[in-house]
Structure 1
Amino acid sequence: MLEACMISLSDVRLTLQSQAGGVNILRGVDFAAAAGEVAAVMGPSGAGKTTLLMLMAGLLAPTSGTVTVAGQDLTAMGEDALARFRRDNVGIVFQAFHLVPAMTALENVALPLEFAGRADAFDRAAQALDAVGLSQRRGHFPAELSGGEQQRVALARALAPRPRLLLADEPTGNLDGETGQMVMELLFSLSDGMTLILVTHDPGLAERCGRVVHIRDGRVAGDGPSAS
């Protein structure tokens, strides 16, 4: 049975300033997700999908409204508290991998665990790499890995701390179809029990989620069960 309200956004608005004046990115978004829920976020480019994820992660602050995740009001936290919150609760998988070039795969995955002060950081990192099928690539640097392997390292890094919330922003956007399918199979299987919010343009991926939220012009334009 799902817990209520892992994520709650209430009348969230975000306006960014440009030389031409204020640009309204989000225009009064209300959104809630239960613990263990899997939801896809879809919409055209520039609709505000990635911005929505960054707000859920506490990487952006709204201009107004409230963002509550795992019972914590992110809009009331300072940067240090937000960093601790992300460390303890949130995993993020980006389209662009964001691996540290000078670190091996094992070191990249161990990094958030080391920040958390885990004495078993490298053991858990090794287990996470094993889970994504990269046990033989632990000592390789990102430049020595294919795009699919780099994304699997990024997935292992996000999952190794066992977060309550996993945010994935177009995780297959830089991969070919076959490799992307493999990465998504791993994402769905290894995130079991976590709340997963997936930004995607792929209707096939969205159908695998229990729910699809459509964002258009900074607003929720539709929210309901997937067609699967």
Structure 2
Amino acid sequence: MLSDVHLTLTAGSGPVNILNGINLRVGQGETLAVVGPSGSGKTTMLMLMAGLERPTSGQVQVAGVDLTALNEDALSRFRREHLGIVFQAFHLIPTMTAVENAALPLEFAHHPKTRSRALEALEQVGLGHRAGHYPSQLSGGEQQRVALARAFAARPRIILADEPTGNLDEETGARVMELLFTLQAEENATLILVTHDRSLAKRCDRVATMHSGRMEA
């Protein structure tokens, strides 16, 4: 839940208003697409929901927790326990294998069965046979599927996805999104998806449109 959220950053020419009074509620298990032109504030809003950016004013409440009241250590714990994040750039660690990348959130959370759960997550995305391969040995679509496995490995309540098919060709992107929606349904996770693809947005339960840092009605 975002309540009257504002974000102002300081640039060389003075203050720049990035978000201007955002109000948003998302229910458990709901899929929400956030659309709008580049520069409208979509990704910034997602970063606020992840606790990776702080608002200038207003309240950001996720899974019943007021993120604006948490320090950096508490925010890190919150992300570990509640969130899975999928970026447009895959953000895999090149010196780690697919299973090691998928296991990262489990390692941070001190999960008792880190490797077996990471392998299970890779199997879910059809990459169990590629567990020992490094990112450089995987195609773009396979790397994004590893990123999905990493996001879902700890079975988070909320998935935040920022243009997850932006670096993929149309056919591969369609397969990745089919997988994302399948995993979301299996886990009954809340999915908030930032996308420029209107046809993809229509697959979500609801579509929210942003323009110039505001949420349009």
TM-score by length of 2: 0.98
What is aligned with 2:5? 12
Q: Equivalent residue of 1:154, what SS?
A: helix
1:106 is aligned, of 95, 99, 104, to 99
Structure 1 position 221, deviation (Å):
1.2
What is aligned with 1:33? 26
2:116 is aligned, of 107, 110, 123, to 123
Structure 1 position 11, deviation (Å):
0.4
2:211 is aligned, of 200, 213, 216, to 216
2:38 is aligned, of 38, 45, 66, to 45
How many corresponding residue pairs? 215
Cα distance in 1, alignment partners of residues 15 and 143 from structure 2: 37
Structure 1 position 78, deviation (Å):
0.1
Structure 1 position 119, deviation (Å):
1.7
What is aligned with 2:201? 206
Q: Which has the higher contact order (CA 8 A, sep 6+)?
A: 2
Cα distance in 1, alignment partners of residues 17 and 134 from structure 2: 40
TM-score by length of 1: 0.93
Q: Percent identity?
A: 65
Alpha-carbon RMSD: 0.5
Cα distance in 2, alignment partners of residues 24 and 121 from structure 1: 42
- Return the letter of the residue paired with 2:69: A
1:73 is aligned, of 66, 69, 79, to 66
Structure 1 position 136, deviation (Å):
1.0
Runs of 4+ in structure 1 over 4 Å off: none
1:196 paired with 2:191, answer: yes
1:24 paired with 2:12, answer: no
Cα distance in 2, alignment partners of residues 13 and 148 from structure 1: 36
What is aligned with 2:89? 96
Q: Equivalent residue of 1:67, what SS?
A: strand
Q: Deviations over 1:86-107 (max 9, x none)?
A: 0000000000000001100000
Q: Deviations over 1:22-53 (max 9, x none)?
A: 11100000000010110000000000000011
Q: Deviations over 1:62-95 (max 9, x none)?
A: 0000000111000000000000000000000000
Cα distance in 1, alignment partners of residues 180 and 104 from structure 2: 20
Structure 1 gap ranges (5+): 1-7, 223-228
- Return the letter of the residue paired with 1:79: E
